[in-house]
Amino acid sequence: MKKGRILVGTIALVLAVAAAAAPSARAADSEISQSYLIYCSKCHGPDGHGDGPNAATLKTKPRDFTDCATMKKIDDDTIFKAIKEGGAAVNLPNDMPPWGQAFDDSEIRQLSTFVRSFCGKS
Give Cβ neighbours of residue 72 (< 8 Å, ≥ 6 apart).
119
**Number of domains observed in the structure of the chain:** 1
Exposure string of 20-40, with b = 16+ CB inside 10 Å and e = fewer, is: eeeeeeeeeeeebeebbeebb
Amino acid (1-letter code) at residue 104: D
Q: How confident is the model at residue 9 (pLDDT cuts 50, 70, 90)?
A: very low
Is 94 among the domain residues?
yes
What integer pLDDT is reported at residue 16 of this predicted model?
45
Q: How confident is the model at residue 80 (pLDDT cuts 50, 70, 90)?
A: very high
What CATH number should be reported for the domain holding residue 72?
1.10.760.10
Is 18 among the domain residues?
no
Q: Give pTM, 2 decimals.
A: 0.75
Is 10 among the domain residues?
no
Is 58 among the domain residues?
yes
C-alpha span between 102 and 13 (Å, rounded): 38
Average pLDDT of every residue of the chain: 83
Can you give the residue range of the structural domain that contains 78?
A: 29-120
pLDDT tens-digit map of 31-74: 999 999 999 999 999 999 999 999 999 999 999 999 999 999 99
- State what percent of residues in the chain have pLDDT above 70: 75
